[in-house]
Structure 1
Amino acid sequence: MHTDFTRQKLLAIGLVLALGWVALFAQGVTTSSLSGIVTDRSGSGLIGANVVAVHEPSGTRYGTATREKGQYDIDNMRVGGPYTITVSYLGYKDETVENVYLQLGQQLRLDFVLQEQSVAGEEVVVEAEVDEVLNSSRTGAGTFVKPEEVAAMPSIKRSTRDLTRLDPRSDGNFSFAGRNWLYNNISLDGSYFNNPFGLDDPA
């Protein structure tokens, strides 16, 4: 009889301790967590993939990046749900899992396999034209005046002197960058119209 009493006493003590431990555990754990691995189709882990979990009722966002072998962990998440989990990685299609619910103290494992995505680039067209001023046979500075610029410029005397206004280096009197006008070289459609002796107007 004494033995039965001792057993009952030990059983009661054990039950009390077990209930106390459960209560203590319940008070200490108030969140959940999410973990898993992100890989490609070959099974290789993708490092640096973005994992974002959104708690839809509250809008709370949890995020992390995968480690060396594609592992990820998100701790201290709200209990309940639904959650929307999205994984993104450059060059791969995004993967999304919806209606995920977390229980108290649960560490849910959720793995992802991403599919490669071809990145379509826009066509780039490069156009170029020959600069008549810059060529291998020309040295020094120069200004090229197009026919439409000449036609659009107002001119009373119809003098080439008016064209000097198109070059900011000119003083308006055929002197460019401080040099004497005798050093100028004026050509029209390849023909030279210079005044090397300085007897008349430069043009």
Structure 2
Amino acid sequence: MRHLPQLFANNRAWAARKISQTPDFFTSLCAIQEPQYLWIGCADSRVPANEIVGLAPGELFVHRNVANVVQPDDINCLSVLQYAVEILDITDVIVCGHYGCGGVQAALDAPAADPLERWISPIRKIRRNHAREIEACADSAARWRRLCELNVATQVEVLSRLPLLTKAWAAGRALNVHGWIYDLHDGLLSDLGVSVPQPGKE
């Protein structure tokens, strides 16, 4: 509790900086949001979505959870996706994982307690489906990195099959799904080359 007042102090300093840099910043921000991108990322505190892509408030619509998992029955994720596609008219959905992901590591370890175990069960399935490839990696660190990548690729596949996206594509929407990964060691993003573009625009 003793640290919480510092957060309010930080907030006031941040707001003051914004106003000094752009006097109408908050006036403009409260009028409308027009993000072009939906970011589906990990809840890890070391991966601040807006900051690592250099976008300001209002420029990136964000959904985060443990290990950037997209589950077809997750109403939280689906409602974010629906709002992004149907209301905000975004053009790009970015699934961004990161190396060193604790959720992915948990899927390599012994079973965890619920609800975490239920949440990471799709990643355990990815591990089983790619067991030969993962086990062929040089060491445990390489296996962890590869599963982080495979997890992103799988979530892109899951997203591209969701009715929300297939209906948007059928209606001619210019909408693309991308799979990226963030490296905590150097702060850089990489495109994993698993993007699913608007059908007919490959």
Q: Please, what TM-score do these two structures have when normalized by structure 1?
A: 0.22
Q: Which has the higher helix share?
A: 2
Normalised by the length of structure 2, the TM-score is 0.22
Larger radius of gyration: 1
| Bigger strand share | 1
